Amino acid sequence: MKASIIGTTGYGGAELLRILNQHPEFDIQSIHSTRDDLPIWHEYPHLYNVIDNTLQAIDPEKIALKADVVFLATPSGISGELAGKFVDKDIKVIDLSGDLRLDANQYQQWYKKEPVNQALINKAVYGLSEWNSEEIQPAHLISNPGCYPTAALLSLAPVIKEDIVQVDSIIVDAKSGISGAGRSLSRSSSFSEANENFSAYKVNQHQHTPEIEKQLHKWNENIQPITFTTQLLPITRGIMATSYVKLKESYTSPQLLELYEQTYNSCPFIRIRPENNYPSVKEVAGSNYCDIGMHVDERTGRVTIISVIDNLMKGAAGQAVQNANIMFGMNETTGLNFIPLYP
């Protein structure tokens, strides 16, 4: 199988190269960005003598003739337009951006950008691999979930689907490493602003809020708006999403853990931690795992659910390849069996 990547010079694109270079079934057919004729190792010297491809101009006609799948690791606002150019061609498309995740009017409201047409959005299947594999398998266009929504949704799904939480009680407190903001320079992600610092941003205005709510609502139509806070951690990779929900009836921690273990027992990338064990971001770094730990506070009737992912892996490129594996009928773990980098 042949794969092309657009947006290869970004962090998501570089992570796709790292995965696909050792994937037994996908070959890297071509790599693209707005710059062409540049060997990728000039941009990323760590790839010297490992990946010798040269960046090429973005020509959807040419790409679709040679590749079986194209990954769009491009910014929102660009990805949707590119997806439209591939959609009627004989190639599968996986878009890592937020362009196809929301209805057009919601996209305009939260991304403050012009949406692509609703007909294109309707063609995209939401690629939350563990929960949507039946729709992902025959799809031609995948809208890969956002990094924060991946961490939040995987950790909330069992209690929401089981309908055991008060529907207006959901709070998600999330923290991300700086690579979540991409490779381009910005003041808030510069070393002197971010190092030894910890700050909240886009409070109650984060564009991933409606994405999380949309999926929660599909699982349980009574779900009310959530409170979602995003914060920037002075680390390179990793997301921790801590969710607080109020239970309708009393449960113990072992009972909830049992529910989570049963729910995810056939999902190789979801690791439910035993009682009184909570995951840290380093314990999943460089891997496609989402680790989840939880505890019921019997005094308050709330459960605290902690989930961690690597934003560039399960939160972006890893889940994108997991979806490609599903689309091409392979085992979903193919080429993704990375042990986390520790320490």
Ligand X SMILES: CC(=O)N[C@@H](CCC(=O)OP(=O)(O)O)C(=O)O
Contact positions vs ligand X (CB under 6 A): 76, 97-98, 146-147, 176, 180-181, 207, 230, 232
Q: Of 12, 238, 279, 335, which one interacts with ligand NDP (CB under 6 A)?
A: 12
Q: Could you confirm whether 147 is annotated as catalytic?
A: yes
Element (H, E) at 218: helix 209-219
- Phi and psi torsions of 139, nearest 5°: -75, 155
- Phi and psi torsions of 171, nearest 5°: -125, 130
Distances (CA, A) of 58 to 4, 30, 81, 99, 269: 10, 10, 12, 19, 33
Q: By C-beta, is 34 or 255 nearer to ligand NDP? A: 34
| 35 touches ligand NDP (CB under 6 A) | yes
Q: By C-beta, is 29 or 304 nearer to ligand NDP? A: 29
Minimum distance from residue 259 beta carbon to ligand X (Å): 29
| 311 touches ligand NDP (CB under 6 A) | yes
Site for ligand NDP in 189-228 (CB under 6 A): none
333 binds, among ligand X, ligand NDP, none (CB under 5 to 8 A by kind): none
207 binds, among ligand NDP, ligand X, none (CB under 5 to 8 A by kind): ligand X
Q: What is the CA radius of gyration of the chain?
A: 20
Q: Of 146, 210, 238, 318, which one interacts with ligand NDP (CB under 6 A)?
A: 146
| 315 touches ligand NDP (CB under 6 A) | yes
Contact (CB, 8 A) for 327 and 68: no
Tokens of 94: 């996986």
Q: Where are the alpha helices (DSSP H) in 9-89?
A: 11-21, 40-43, 60-66, 79-86
Q: x/- string (CB under 6 A) for ligand NDP, residues 151-190?
A: ----------------------------xx-xxx------
Contact (CB, 8 A) for 47 and 31: no
Q: By C-beta, is 74 or 243 nearer to ligand NDP? A: 74
Helices 253-263 and 147-161: crossing angle, nearest 10°? 110
| 115 touches ligand NDP (CB under 6 A) | no
Pairing of strands 227-232, 199-201: antiparallel
Site for ligand NDP in 52-111 (CB under 6 A): 58, 73-76, 78-79, 96-98
Contact (CB, 8 A) for 228 and 206: yes
Nearest residue to the partner ligand NDP, using Cβ: 10
| 39 touches ligand NDP (CB under 6 A) | no
Between CA 8 and CA 28 the distance in angstroms is: 11
DSSP lists the bridge partners of residue 226 as none
Between CA 302 and CA 245 the distance in angstroms is: 5
Count of residues of this chain found to bind ligand NDP when the rule CB under 6 A is applied: 32
Q: By C-beta, is 56 or 97 nearer to ligand X? A: 97
Contact (CB, 8 A) for 74 and 48: no
232 binds, among ligand X, ligand NDP, none (CB under 5 to 8 A by kind): ligand X
Catalytic position from the list 72, 147, 247, 309: 147
Q: By C-beta, is 14 or 306 nearer to ligand NDP? A: 14
Q: Where are the alpha helices (DSSP H) in the chain?
A: 11-21, 40-43, 60-66, 79-86, 104-111, 118-123, 129-136, 147-161, 191-194, 209-219, 253-263, 318-327
Q: Which residues bind ligand NDP (CB under 6 A)?
A: 6-13, 33-35, 58, 73-76, 78-79, 96-98, 146-147, 179-180, 182-184, 311-312, 315-316
Q: So which residues are the catalytic ones? A: 147
